Structure 1
Amino acid sequence: MNNMDWKLLSSEYLHRDTWLTARKDVCETPDGRIVEPYYVLEYNDWVNGLALTEDGQAIMIRQYRHGVRKTIIEIPAGTMDDTDPSPAFAMERELMEETGYSFKEIIPLGSVSANPGSTNNLTHMFLATGGVKVREQQLDHNEQIEVVLMSMEELQQLIKDNQLLQSLHVTCVFYALMHLNRLQMK
């Protein structure tokens, strides 16, 4: 296979902020063509996970998402902090903050990219099992999150009915269902 990697000739930051960093790159393809400008959005890595209680219920969350201007149902998720030593640590932290649950096992399911053409980060997916409520939520100042428990059958029906809007969350749920041997395509 031929090397298809581009050579980065220069980068210029257009905007830097906690939640949005944008840069303009100048690149050269292996055959010598110059690609200019090429825009990249930089983000910290993200984590998400299908979380299950001790008795096998899915721990879902409802919250308002301003980008689509809707309140939607999701799995617990968040941005990795610079101080998080690993994606698994970040997932455990997010689960505790958003749901108040502690888990016996946090199983890594792999990583995906939301858009490798224009973003630099990965989403690390997990399956958390054996969840027990140990405290109240500890939400960020801009978060309002309602915890919703549902059966695995109800979760699968949400997917069949196309009711989970966040594509990275749907991907994680599919990987988790495959891991659990519960993926039914009927």
Structure 2
Amino acid sequence: MSEESLAWETLSSETTYTCEGFDVITETVRLPDGTETEFDYLSEGESVVILPLTPDDEVVVIEEWRQPVRRVNYGLPAGSVEPDDEDLRTAVARELKEETGYEAGTIDHLTTVEPANGFSDAVFHYVLAEDCTPTGEQDLDYNESIRVGTTTVESLRGAARDDELRDGRTLLGVLYYELFGQ
């Protein structure tokens, strides 16, 4: 079966809700059987998720309040790719410095995923940032509360195994690195 035989035809598209961070898009589509219907999805674009390692192989991690789940989230630094970013490396360097005050010696792509493509167009670019050193202060956005620390890959793997690593971006990044990145 070809991809074309499953493809939907987009007849119209409009942004029905917008706020800082994401939009809700409503599209009128024609399904392969000819049915016309509406489909809504969350549009938030591309982000980078950073696995930052220090020269001593410690992982730079953050703790951040997450309002939707009403608790502190433990995880990897991450953030949006901005329109004026030259490339993913620019986004990684900016987000790492803003959220942690660290800078990377090297940056390498690990993988790219669509974490929830049934209802969102989000794309996560996972990168390994090595030789990360603290070089300055955080430069947080007005709506961020972040505490920075370090841990080991082994500790993060254990937290994943023990169901203590709840952030999906972090879980995927750590497990991917453990399976393929070293």
Deviation at 1:166, TM superposition (A): 1.4
2:49 paired with 1:48: yes
Q: Aligned equivalents of 1:175 and 1:88: distance in 2?
A: 19
Instruction: Determine if contact 2:27/2:40 at 8 Å carries over to the other structure.
Output: yes
Q: Aligned equivalents of 1:82 and 1:173: distance in 2?
A: 27
Q: Aligned equivalents of 1:74 and 1:132: distance in 2?
A: 18
2:99 paired with 1:98: yes
Q: Which residue of 2 aligns with 1:80?
A: 81
Letter of the 2:59 counterpart: A
2:12 paired with 1:10: yes
Deviations, residues 11-51 of structure 1 (Å, cap 9, x unaligned): 122112332311211111223222x2210111131111111
Q: Aligned equivalents of 2:15 and 2:146: distance in 1?
A: 34
Deviation at 1:167, TM superposition (A): 0.9
Q: Which residue of 2 aligns with 1:184?
A: none
Q: What is the aligned residue count?
A: 180
Q: Which runs of 5+ in 1 are unaligned?
A: 182-186
Percent identity, please.
Answer: 29
Q: Aligned equivalents of 2:101 and 2:51: distance in 1?
A: 15
Q: Which residue of 2 aligns with 1:171?
A: 172
Letter of the 1:13 counterpart: T
Instruction: Determine if contact 1:126/1:176 at 8 Å carries over to the other structure.
Output: no
Instruction: Determine if contact 1:44/1:81 at 8 Å carries over to the other structure.
Output: no
Q: Which residue of 1 aligns with 2:29?
A: 27
Q: Aligned equivalents of 1:116 and 1:152: distance in 2?
A: 28
Q: Which runs of 5+ in 2 are unaligned?
A: none
Q: Which residue of 1 aligns with 2:157?
A: 156
Instruction: Determine if contact 2:157/2:175 at 8 Å carries over to the other structure.
Output: no
Letter of the 2:63 counterpart: R
Taking only aligned residues, the RMSD between alpha carbons, in angstroms, comes to 1.4
Deviation at 1:81, TM superposition (A): 1.4
Q: Aligned equivalents of 1:152 and 1:120: distance in 2?
A: 29
| CA spacing shift, 1:180–1:119, aligned 2, 3 Å | closer
Letter of the 2:172 counterpart: T
Give the TM-score normalised by structure 2: 0.92
Partner SS for 2:69: coil
Looking at secondary structure, tell me which structure has more helix per residue: 2
Letter of the 2:85 counterpart: D
